[in-house]
Structure 1
């Protein structure tokens, strides 16, 4: 006979009572339900196994002597349901506690109960307080063991999925533990690495430093360290790793090893090198500016100064054209001879090279425009122009290439706004200011474009939610090659606003910039309709 009683099994422990004596089952059911447990009954060993598979109870109370299948054999069969291969070798790791109930008190019967897999036993006649205490104790132990397993599984999941390498080195300097991220980072399998000296993976040029750090831990001079060390991968490539290490627990005053994490910072190191090169180039530009100033002070005539500046700009232009030629040549060679890359990767390289060519060409054009302006050679060709139509065309083209992280709000006056303007200069100025709004809003946001007409003046206002401009920089925004102090990580030459200012001046207009760091920037351009 199989019966299940009690409430929702998720709210209280479920106990399976297997006993051929109906009176004992009824007595145990009433006793256990009074304590808040749910009870499932089985009258022999076979039905006990069936009930266990169906209800998955939290505990089994198992009579030793039953017909059809006795409690000893039933308990042995239960172990096949509750044990994993690892658990079979360790009695403490059983999944479901089995409490054997037996009227036999001889040592052989007791040994048989434990050999069958029982966690504990009680003898008949039952002593209720002892039985309840053992049930509570065994359930608590079972839950604690399950919680421990879940914690171990969670810890293993974290270790196996974390990107950084978690490591342990034994007192002899050999790898004792490595998380799976090691194989992805270095190419070596864990089997190839564990047990080998950790210094074998260190770059030869950094071995001495690594030895000194290791000795400082062994001698007790340091309890840990954080350093950037080069390691060599299985393919021979060099990777920069940031090592956070500390001495493992000392047992009886004896050093037991070193543990910590390895973080791949190769890309960061290379980025820092590129930033250093950028600073060098910017320094070179500043030095050229200083040289130009010294030459300007040495010249007595304005014409001679203009000719000299034109010569300098021409020289700079030629210096820019050399890398352009190199990039274009490399692109052709890559197309013709590089057979190691897939077609998709080749295409990406070609696109990158093409973008570099366009970018450097634009820089060259900006330098030439500044030179023409300061030499008084910039051509100004105003024509009768409908500004609203120009802005509509510009916005449509700009929005088609806009990153989806940005929202562009446009407000253009419905009435015609017609005046005398240089179309090319006006288009380039507005396009540059819109591009700046995107460029200096690296996290996205809303960009607002407004065009209005007031009396005899047309006003264009462009507002962003970007990084803003420090107040200390705002007085120098229109100087050639000057860049704000908070945009060192954002590319640029510092010529864009200088060129826009030249264009606005040629129109007889004004440009005003209002900005707050972390809030955004608003640029307002005011131009007379008829110059």
Structure 2
């Protein structure tokens, strides 16, 4: 894409500045062929109902067809369908193998062509020829941007051809323009190159405060009245134009008005030659641009102020033309990127962007121009030493007085260190996730590996109880005390393994919500009877329901983990005290579930650590526990969009209130 843009830019430049259309087209064809990586590039020109093959460029190893008379006849006979489309200003492209025109396919195959593109050249809306691009070694795919830009280039060729014809036919007719131009702001003058005397229009004289009789039409008169800073330049430009060293004679100079003030004049001249090619006179126009120039000077002052601010800014401030080429670069570019500002002027910015970022940046640039939106983009840019750094660039369109986009202003800063830091953070987060996953896998593996031996230990303890039934009572009681301790420790280990497994799943983000409707009143009673049947043989837990019953949408499994942990703690830490209590309150938009016990409570200075993994209060050393129960309660409550409120006092008990929405989004 960069070669494509560069080739188009060079071809347009050659077309604009070339001395003649013939020389320009030869150069354009070579540049376009090389930059677009085709094998053959040429122009077919329509002249008097005949099509001539000309301006051909061929890649290395490709056979030329310039001046091939057989080809000319075939084109005339077989290309009628193509001529019709090209006359409608339609580019034609494709693969030869896909073409339905047998004659056209045969001609292309004889030239070893696999794919092609034709862009029409029109003069005054009439087809005068086309540019052909042919690929012989592969089936080149043309994207829309290339086709559109090459189509526009062909239009520019038609404009240049028309321009040259107009000026070639001017000749003596320019002398007639003085009559028609009297009413315009353009004032006619003529310079005789033999006598170096001038002829001017009446309005030209008025422009500088004279009438035609008050002006001496000699070289000395003009030299005396033209500003001293402009005279040497003007004489050199005139001499270069006469000697054919310059293509155009045009510019701006200052001339003294009769009142003594200087005014700015824009001039344009066209040379006239005799039949032998010798210059005989120059005919031209002048226009008073004093007001425009004054505004331009004020603008220049503003630009100089902008340049001063930009050059003393640590960011790289740039202004770009529509094609992305630099037209201004601040001095800070040397410190950041190593380039001198002048060496970047007219170069295309996209050429320096990292290949992996090129397409993204180009698309963003196009959107910036099209939608006039302020944009910030981060990408890699090549320094002068060919290394890349990360730039963060803010872009804003430059508009003219008609609010048309004429360029883009950018401000760029080096953010390489920030990018490195972000990468380090991402790496650290990745490692943290890996460690978390490893912990989860280890927990699952450990839980699985411990379950089997714990089951064996528990079953053997029960077997010991059965085997000792025939012994005396004192021995049986002694053995049962031992097996009871074994069973309690097995239960403790089982609870710990279950909690570790659940905790690990949550940490590794492997737990998913399965939301469904539940009747909370029935659910609570079923849960207590299922999980706390042993405790209910010794104690009771009272359930109080307040408010009008509503349907709760939640994950039953996760809610079970929450409530079994809270109810288990209520029984565990209130042994010998008043029975625990559960209060369910149906509010308008939320439901509250309170689990209350009247047990040992929690020391005030330790409540801040309650929901931390593996934390146990200092007054629970003699009570079996894993330190994971409340951590799991907090995690799953948050996961279900709920909230927790805790109220506790040592030796007086604990109240934990859960608040959930009725709906899960």
The answer to whether the superposition gives a TM-score over 0.5 is no
Instruction: Identify the TM-score tier after normalising by the shorter chain.
Output: 0.3 to 0.5
Q: TM-score, normalised by structure 1?
A: 0.39
Q: TM-score, normalised by structure 2?
A: 0.32
